[in-house]
Amino acid sequence: MKRIALLFLLINSLWANAADVLSPDAFTAHYVNVIKETYPDIKVTINEPLAISIEYPDGGKMNSFLDNAYIEYKQDPSNIDDLIMVYASGLDQTRELDSAGFTLAEVMPVIKDRLYIEQVGEMLKDADADNGLVFEPLNEALFVVYVFDTPTSVRFMTQADLTALGVEQSSLRETALVNLQNILQHVQLEGDPASLSMLVADGMYEASMLLFEGIWNKQQFPVKGDIVVYVPARDVVLITGSEDITSLATIQEILFDEQGFAHPISNIGFTMKQGKWERF
């Protein structure tokens, strides 16, 4: 029980106690004001709470979803201006990445849910109807999205990028996993692998470790029953057993904390059956 309590405290430390926070509408308005002050030549339109459109002086356009920024803001409302500046400062990098050349060595896999795929798909479709996101289903709830990870930023891989690289999409998974393994040099396991534990790596690709089939075995995780894995966020991977009622209940408390997670993925648990992740 002590180990479970310590793990709960560890994860709970991701959230700050926020008393008064801006509504999504107010946060969006504040975010837009910061962008306009920082980039006076950029035209910004609020489409709906936490969704904006950006038009650059050269005619380039992009849509931006502020859900992650808002969740991070709720964790520490006192740090709103610094947070928004971090997000806003990435606009130039995003534009620079649009015309950058990439290599296969920069391809990485990230795990996303169906809603994310739909939202980003619409965003890219608005920009270029023939230039969609490069992704593949992991199961009915999770998808593998391919990105280019550079020293300055991360950018989605598009079908045009795939053509420029001259490779088939079927070969991306193997290449991306080799790249991912090269950067994940310090993976740690917090908690008790026999009851409730959490993978800790670089803060970006923890959820992507679902793709390393070989690590998900009872030697690594001697839990009660089948191994059950939750990926509520890109940097949070919780592991327990299908017959561990106490740990499963603890995970539910963590998942439904009102502060939520930054970069959320899914509140569903998954077990591996014959090399494939299935809904728990």
Residues 87-127 pLDDT 10s: 777 665 555 545 457 889 999 999 999 988 887 767 666 55
CA gap 80, 72 in Å, rounded: 9
* Beta-carbon contacts of residue 207 (< 8 Å; ≥ 6 apart): 110, 111, 231, 233, 234, 235, 236, 237, 265
Q: Which residue has the tokens 């991360």?
A: 154
Better-scored residue on pLDDT, 221 or 53: 221
**What whole-number percentage of the chain has pLDDT above 70?**
81
Give the pLDDT mean for 226-245.
95
What the block records as the tokens of 198 is 């959490």
Of all helices (H) and strands (E), which one includes residue 181? helix 172-183
Band of residue 2 on the pLDDT scale cut at 50, 70, 90: very low
Residue 1 has pLDDT above 60, yes or no: no
- pLDDT of amino acid 92: 58
Handedness of CA 128, 131, 133, 137 (dihedral sign): positive
The overall average pLDDT reported for the chain is 82
Crossing angle of helices 80-98 and 67-75, in 10° steps, is 150
Length of the chain: 280
Spatial contact of 127 and 61, defined as CB atoms under 8 Å apart: yes
Of 5-9, 29-33, 58-62, the poorest mean pLDDT is in 5-9
What the block records as the tokens of 52 is 């904006």
